């Protein structure tokens, strides 16, 4: 069952405000515990981690920045 627009908006906020900070702390902690790799490899690791956190949640973020699809301009002003 696909998520409604409101549910996707709520979940996107939870992901950005709760999951992302936790993910950042865990990723940095793990990387600090290993010996520092060469700078080019460290940049690659951070880029992959920076993009990789959102890929599993792509369906949640899709279309969230747009207007609610159920509101098709039926405003009566």
pLDDT of residue 58: 85
Which segments in the chain show pLDDT lower than 70? 1, 72-77
pTM given for the model:
0.71
**In whole angstroms, what is the distance from residue 11 CA to residue 56 CA?**
13
Question: First and final CA of the chain: distance in angstroms?
Answer: 35
pLDDT of residue 40: 95
pLDDT of residue 59: 81
| Composition of the chain by helix, strand, coil, percent to 5 | 65, 0, 35
pLDDT, tens digit, for every residue of 47-61? 999 898 888 888 888
pLDDT of residue 64: 77
């Amino acid at each position: 069952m696909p998520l409604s627009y409101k549910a996707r908006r709520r979940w996107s906020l939870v992901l950005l405000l709760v999951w992302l900070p936790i993910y950042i702390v865990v990723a940095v902690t793990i990387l600090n515990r290993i010996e520092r790799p060469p700078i080019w490899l460290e940049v690659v690791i951070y880029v992959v981690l920076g993009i990789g956190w959102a890929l599993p949640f792509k369906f949640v973020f899709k279309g969230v920045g747009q207007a609610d699809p159920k509101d098709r301009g039926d405003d009566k002003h």
